[in-house]
């Protein structure tokens, strides 16, 4: 987390921008660069620097202060950051890394080839080196990987005045001093206190008398999405992270929550579009579509497309099975795309609603039974409306028999698709898979198979009846 007020700017009045800053940045002088670092927000500088040619960007990074260099690097997108870090001299980079917050520098070092990372570690102070090694050990997407070790702690026996003095002294090295954590002699988390409470308290009050005992905490191994949801639910500015012995090992700050919520939503989006999910910093979600290479995208897209092709063979087989019916009444083929399409679309809607509701915790596994009844009512109602609409076309294209067949098939197909779409996400959750794997294309493909069988099944049955009569 960057202390947000370090470089506030009025955005519209900002002199620098991704497109407009090139000329100046191509011929920078040291004084102008220093002024720029002082006046612009690192996020804006990062966007501007990313547009420069690599060599010029490296030259600029080498001429600015270590602090500015650190702030800007942290705000760059993953690819630009890696490219520039690879070309910066070891000493420049090491000084910048020393100025980064603990969680940011771990991310940067982990993105480098192992030897480079090691040689950089040797340029850092022992304390920093050990801190990085410790934070690097946590698995990706866990609270441990997200947390920073720069939190403020207090002893329960300090007075409010002493506590404020301690926080004031430590402020430059901490991510936040607005929440401090009260620990015992074995670093166990026993309480939490806000700077607001400390300031409002009488100066001689003991911390232990005003702290909140037993604060909400998460374990280092907890999933980052669960942590983000918890922080959003309780509106927390920072969340303490403890290890198996309940000892405080880090905190997660509110700005990390935005990133996690957005990242997880993007992952679900991709899954819903039948794009394979993955993890690791090299993955699509982190790199972004703009910078992703063609091979990465092919690897993400091809597997599901091939799987769905083989699924669609069953639709083809269904059509082949009913060849006689089709040849008897060729007008039926006209309605095929329309009917199986409607089943797929209704299914995609239900799946979308359910996947998102499960993801944000609006719906739980136990709600399935209650929701099935509602879904049937809704699907029947929608199916009847669509059946009426399609039967009007049916009368014109094939007479009353075809109209009746397509109307009845429509109701059944929409019902089938909707129930499939709403149930599949639950079923996947039941088997510990991500509900978003019930992508629109997967639901559509299964609904297609059902649609073919239902449509031609009804047609064969009804036309058979007609022949008998």
Question: What is the closest distance, in whole angstroms, from the C-beta atom of residue 463 to a copy of itself in the complex?
Answer: 18
Q: Kindly state the tokens that stand for 326.
A: 């089709």
Question: What is the closest distance, in whole angstroms, from the C-beta atom of residue 27 to a copy of itself in the complex?
Answer: 25
Question: What is the closest distance, in whole angstroms, from the C-beta atom of residue 130 to a copy of itself in the complex?
Answer: 27
Question: What is the closest distance, in whole angstroms, from the C-beta atom of residue 89 to a copy of itself in the complex?
Answer: 29
Q: What is the SS3 string spanning 237-248?
A: CEEEEECCCCEE
Q: What is the SS3 string spanning 124-157?
A: CCHHHHHHHHHHHCCCCCEHHHHCECCCEEECCC
273 vs 400, which CB is nearer to a copy of itself? 273
Per-residue b/e over 141-162, b at no fewer than 16 CB within 10 Å?
Answer: bbbbbbbbbbbbbbebebbbeb
CB 25 within 8 A of CB 54: no
Question: What is the closest distance, in whole angstroms, from the C-beta atom of residue 196 to a copy of itself in the complex?
Answer: 6
250 vs 383, which CB is nearer to a copy of itself? 383
Pairing assessment for the beta strands 238-242 and 179-183 based on DSSP bridges: unpaired
Pairing assessment for the beta strands 218-219 and 212-213 based on DSSP bridges: unpaired
Query: CB-hemisphere CA count at 13 Å for 252?
Result: 33
In terms of Cα–Cα distance, which of 433, 417, 413, 415 is closest to 425?
Answer: 433
133 vs 213, which CB is nearer to a copy of itself? 213
144 vs 347, which CB is nearer to a copy of itself? 347
280 vs 373, which CB is nearer to a copy of itself? 373
Determine the Cα–Cα distance for residues 74 and 53; give it in Å rounded to an integer: 19
Q: Kindly state the tokens that stand for 149.
A: 């070790």
88 vs 197, which CB is nearer to a copy of itself? 197
117 vs 341, which CB is nearer to a copy of itself? 341
Question: What is the closest distance, in whole angstroms, from the C-beta atom of residue 102 to a copy of itself in the complex?
Answer: 16
CB 240 within 8 A of CB 251: yes
Question: What is the closest distance, in whole angstroms, from the C-beta atom of residue 461 to a copy of itself in the complex?
Answer: 21
């Amino acid at each position: 987390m960057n202390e947000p007020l370090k470089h506030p700017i009025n955005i519209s009045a900002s002199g620098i921008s991704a497109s407009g800053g090139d000329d100046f940045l191509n011929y920078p002088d040291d004084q102008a660069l220093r002024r720029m670092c002082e006046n612009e927000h690192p996020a804006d500088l990062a966007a501007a620097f990313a547009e420069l040619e690599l060599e010029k960007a490296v030259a600029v990074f080498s001429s600015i202060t270590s602090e500015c260099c650190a702030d800007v690097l942290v705000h760059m997108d993953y690819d630009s950051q890696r490219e520039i870090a690879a070309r910066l001299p070891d000493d420049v980079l090491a000084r910048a890394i020393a100025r980064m917050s603990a969680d940011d520098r771990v991310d940067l070092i982990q993105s480098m080839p192992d030897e480079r990372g090691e040689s950089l570690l040797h340029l850092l102070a022992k304390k920093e080196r050990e801190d990085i090694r410790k934070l690097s050990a946590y698995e990706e997407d866990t609270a441990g990987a997200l947390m920073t070790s720069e939190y403020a702690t207090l002893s329960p026996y300090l007075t409010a005045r002493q506590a404020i003095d301690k926080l004031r002294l430590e402020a430059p090295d901490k991510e936040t001093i607005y929440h401090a954590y009260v620990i015992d002699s074995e670093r166990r988390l026993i309480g939490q206190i806000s700077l607001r409470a400390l300031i409002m308290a009488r100066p001689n009050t003991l911390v232990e008398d005003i702290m909140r005992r037993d604060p909400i905490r998460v374990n280092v191994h907890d999933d980052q999405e669960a942590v983000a949801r918890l922080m959003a639910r309780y509106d927390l500015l920072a969340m303490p992270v403890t290890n198996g012995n309940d000892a405080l090992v880090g905190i997660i700050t509110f700005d990390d929550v935005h990133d996690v919520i957005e990242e997880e939503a993007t992952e679900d989006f991709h899954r819903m579009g039948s794009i394979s999910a993955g993890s690791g910093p090299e993955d699509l979600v982190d790199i972004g579509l703009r910078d992703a290479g063609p091979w990465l995208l092919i690897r993400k897209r091809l597997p599901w497309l091939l799987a769905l092709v083989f699924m669609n063979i069953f639709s083809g087989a269904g059509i082949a099975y009913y060849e006689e019916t089709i040849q008897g009444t060729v007008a039926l083929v006209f309605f095929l795309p329309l009917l199986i399409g409607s089943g797929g679309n209704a299914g995609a809607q239900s799946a979308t609603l359910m996947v998102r509701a499960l993801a944000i915790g609006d719906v739980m596994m136990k709600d399935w039974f209650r929701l099935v009844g509602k879904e049937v009512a809704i699907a029947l109602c929608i199916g009847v409306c669509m059946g009426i609409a399609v039967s009007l076309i049916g009368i014109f294209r094939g007479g009353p028999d075809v109209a009746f067949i397509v109307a009845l098939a429509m109701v059944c197909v929409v019902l089938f698709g909707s129930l499939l779409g709403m149930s599949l996400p639950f079923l996947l959750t039941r088997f510990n898979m991500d509900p978003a794997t019930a992508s629109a294309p997967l639901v559509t493909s299964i609904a297609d198979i059902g649609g073919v069988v239902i449509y031609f099944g009804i047609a064969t049955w009804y036309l058979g009846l007609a022949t008998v009569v």
